């Protein structure tokens, strides 16, 4: 019984880590920069397809992940300069319409380039094997997700909440005019932040391809999940996104184990209850208020 409970917990945490890895970028761009970016999943999809293509060509898995981050980040930076920047002063409706348009474009391009069917990712052999964790064997891939997620969570926690960069970003978002007056290059800061957010999405799309399969409808299929993590966690709250991703991953996993047919409804019912209890999110950011 203990082994079964631990398995459910590990499955939930590993799934939650995938949600966190992708959604943390959305926490930055939507929560901190306050851009309604419904196209965030497109950058995760781009990262996943990039890594999938590279691994199929024989490129080392970790170099492929780095490539996914670079390609997604570079395209994100280009999009920020050409598409997103004019939206910063526009209303939410303009942001929603334009970013959902980007999703449709990305879906069409992915279909044309890679076909309409799920695209395989080639993982190292050792990640496909079970490993002993004392009381049972467990898939190495899911343990890999937990480790990668924990490392990135620690890095982002320091970067956003405990570094000069994070303080500058919050200041620029709260009052960009004052930030410019004290010598901050707000445009460069926003572009760099957008690149980081998209690169993280690319990493999440690549390493999480074993759970969230790569397909042209990826960005539309999972956008609600990514938004839910940010909203339940609290807009602009890095810690909140992490807690929300873990909670939703565990709840969804419990549903799949015990009430398979109703699992999707269980997840969104839990979201409904959580938002009734904490309308501002589990751990709302002071900066996002």
Regions of the chain with pLDDT less than 50? 287-289
Q: Burial-class residue 222 by CB neighbours within 10 Å (0-12, 13-18, 19+).
A: buried
Q: Burial-class residue 129 by CB neighbours within 10 Å (0-12, 13-18, 19+).
A: exposed
Angle, CA 46 vertex, CA 44 and CA 48 arms, to 5°:
70
pLDDT on residue 158? 87
pLDDT on residue 60? 95
Rounded to two decimals, the pTM is: 0.90
CA gap 194, 80 in Å, rounded: 7
pLDDT on residue 94? 86
pLDDT on residue 288? 45
CA gap 35, 96 in Å, rounded: 9
pLDDT tens digits for range 57-97: 999 999 999 999 999 999 999 998 998 888 777 778 888 88
Q: How many CA atoms does the CB half-sphere of 253 hold within 13 Å?
A: 22
pLDDT on residue 2? 66
CA gap 275, 228 in Å, rounded: 10
Q: Which residues contact 29 (CB under 8 A, 6 or more apart)?
A: 35, 37, 40, 193, 194, 197, 198
Q: Which residues contact 255 (CB under 8 A, 6 or more apart)?
A: 262, 263, 264, 266, 267
The DSSP output letter for 161 is H
CA gap 45, 22 in Å, rounded: 10
């Amino acid at each position: 019984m203990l082994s079964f409970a631990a398995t459910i917990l590990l499955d939930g945490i590993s799934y939650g880590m995938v949600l966190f890895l992708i959604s943390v970028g959305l926490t930055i761009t939507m929560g901190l920069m306050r851009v309604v970016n419904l196209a965030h999943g497109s950058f995760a999809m781009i990262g996943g397809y990039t890594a999938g293509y590279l691994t199929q060509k024989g490129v080392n898995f970790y170099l492929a992940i780095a490539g996914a981050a670079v390609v997604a980040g570079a395209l994100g930076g280009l999009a920020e300069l050409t598409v997103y920047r004019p939206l910063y002063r526009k209303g939410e409706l303009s942001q929603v319409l334009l970013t959902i348009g980007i999703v449709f474009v990305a879906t069409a391009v992915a279909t044309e380039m890679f076909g309409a069917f799920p695209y395989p990712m080639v993982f190292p052999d050792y990640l496909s094997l079970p490993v002993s964790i004392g009381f049972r064997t467990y898939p190495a891939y899911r343990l890999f997700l937990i480790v990668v997620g924990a490392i990135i969570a620690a890095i982002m926690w320091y970067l956003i909440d405990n570094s000069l960069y994070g303080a500058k970003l919050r200041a620029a978002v709260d009052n960009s005019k004052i930030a410019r007056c004290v010598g901050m290059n707000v445009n460069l800061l926003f572009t760099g932040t957008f690149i980081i957010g998209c690169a993280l999405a690319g990493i999440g799309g690549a390493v999480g391809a074993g759970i969230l399969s790569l397909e042209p409808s990826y960005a539309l299929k999972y956008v609600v999940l990514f938004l839910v993590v940010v909203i339940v966690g609290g807009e602009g709250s890095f810690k909140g996104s992490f807690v929300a991703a873990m909670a939703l991953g565990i709840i969804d996993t419990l549903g799949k184990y015990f009430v398979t047919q109703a699992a999707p409804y269980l997840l969104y019912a839990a979201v409904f209850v959580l938002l009734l209890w904490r309308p501002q999110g589990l751990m709302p950011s002071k900066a996002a208020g």
